[in-house]
Amino acid sequence: MRHHHCEFRAMDNFQNHIYTKESVPTSERILLVLRIVAGFGRPVSASELVTASGLNKSTLYRLLASLRRWGFVMETESLYSPGPACLQMSLNFDAVQLLIQNAYDAMHKLNEITQ
């Protein structure tokens, strides 16, 4: 099982809410599930998500249903993976990063010319 540090940090923050008996907003739970699904790097089962998230199964299935409806998660043969909405967001992120890099390069060149 492959996790990135950000998933563990998200999980720690979530667990802190549980231990302090604070109410965890649904938006944070749904983002936690999405981060865990993406962090596995392979299709993941609901039981693995229950273990990784600490959520009960009914809550997890409700959140997965919302993520599927919005295209953030796909389900194939009872395994979950990032959906097309995640791909769309990542492509937009790549485009923005390319734009920033090109702008930086142009500004750097302009700075050299004007000095």
Taking residue 63's Cβ as centre, other Cβ atoms within 10 Å add up to: 21
Distance of CA 113 to the CA centre of its chain: 42
CATH of region 1-82, choose from 3.40.50.920, 1.10.10.10, 1.20.120.80, 2.160.10.10:
1.10.10.10
Regions of the chain short of the pLDDT cut 70: 1-22, 94-95
Query: DSSP letter at 42?
Result: S
- CA dist., res. 93 & res. 96, Å (int): 5
Q: Is the pTM of this model over 0.95?
A: no
Domain boundaries, the chain: 1-82, 84-115
Tell me the pLDDT tens digit for each residue of 21-51.
457 899 999 999 999 999 999 999 999 999 9
